[in-house]
Copies of this chain bind each other. A is one copy, B any other.
Amino acid sequence: MVKATKDQVDQSTKGTRPKTRDRILQVARELFNEHGEANVTLAHIGEHLGISEGNVWYHFRTKNAVISAIFMELKAKVQANQQRDVGDLRQVSQLQDLLTRGFHLMWEYRFLLRDNINWAVAQQDVYAQLIALTNQVHIFIENALKLLCQSGILAIPEWQIPIVATNLWIINRYWIDYCQTRNGQEQITEQSVQEGIEQLRSIVFPYLTPLGRQILNRSDPMNTEENATNQA
């Protein structure tokens, strides 16, 4: 969860209309995603909201402050995503759900991941935070793999776990970008999310134990063909 700000507390007591601060963050994120962060100013954001640049400025003094706030949103969502599901990885539907939400986050916050060069050169605080978050996610994936090995679902040699975790993270991180570049795709679709999950599954599939295959078979009718092939 995003830490409750004064605005959000006000919102919950006053009614359903999103507060200006939240609307600024949402519109900024959409404009950054669509046009690239470098091409969007505080004035553009105000214009899109039908409010003055001064009103935007009242909430955020610089574009950097907007970006930092958006980054904090992403970070909070990634952490919430991780905390909610890690105990239930044996349930494949939970895992599927975790991955689906992961891909959606990558799409919703894609400018943060895509516009690397800007952070590295001009906004080093964002860059440092991005690196820290990347490392956090990596550790999460490693731990999840270890858990699945301990549960007897996967059998990955210990020394290979960081390598497999890195491949999973890279596919998760860049899948959406890849879909766009390969197909000139303008929007994320449920199909591309499902295909991304299939890509991730194919990385861990060869390491499934017989128990793992059994669990997958029980919870996921999609896998019948794969299991038949892998067991052959």
Which residues of A are in contact with B by a Cβ distance under 8 Å? 35-36, 38, 113-118, 120-121, 127-128, 130-131, 134-135, 138, 157, 159-160, 163-164, 166-167, 169-171, 173-175, 177-178, 180-184, 198-199, 202-203, 206-207, 225-226, 229-230
Given contacts A127-B184, A131-B181, A199-B166, contact A38 B35 (CB under 8 A): no
Q: Is the CB of A131 within 8 A of B184?
A: yes
Inter-chain CA distance A164–B202, complex, in Å, is 7
A22–B173 CA distance with the chains assembled, in angstroms: 35
Which residues of B have CB within 8 Å of A169?
A: 178
* A121-B226 Cα distance, complex, nearest whole Å: 40
A170-B174, A203-B203 known; A180-B120 Cβ under 8 A = yes
Q: Which residues of B contact A36 (CB under 8 A)?
A: 38, 117-118, 121
Shortest Cβ distance from residue A160 to the other chain B in the assembled complex, whole angstroms: 6
Interface of chain A, helix or strand or loop or mixed? helix
Q: For A171, A180, A182, A225, which residue has the most chain B Cβ atoms within 10 angstroms?
A: A182
* B163 A198 Cβ-Cβ under 8 A: yes
- CB proximity of A231 to chain B, nearest CB, Å: 11
Q: Pick the contact of A182 from B135, B177, B183, B184 — CB < 8 Å?
A: B135
Contact status B171-A173, CB under 8 Å: no
Among B116, B135, B198, point to the contact of A177 (Cβ < 8 A): B116
Q: List 16 A-B contacts (CB under 8 A).
A: A36-B117, A113-B181, A120-B180, A127-B184, A130-B181, A138-B182, A157-B230, A159-B229, A160-B202, A160-B226, A160-B229, A167-B202, A170-B175, A170-B178, A174-B178, A203-B203
Separation of A166 and B203 alpha carbons in the complex (Å): 11
Q: Which of B135, B180, B226 contacts A116 (CB 8 A)?
A: B180
Whole-angstrom CA separation of A148 from B84 in the bound complex: 42
8 Å CB contact of A170 from B171, B198, B207 = B171
A130 to B182, CA, bound (A): 8
Complex CA–CA separation, A229 to B164 (angstroms)? 15
Residues on B with C-beta less than 8 A from A198 are 163
Assess whether B163 is in contact with A202, with CB atoms less than 8 Å apart.
yes
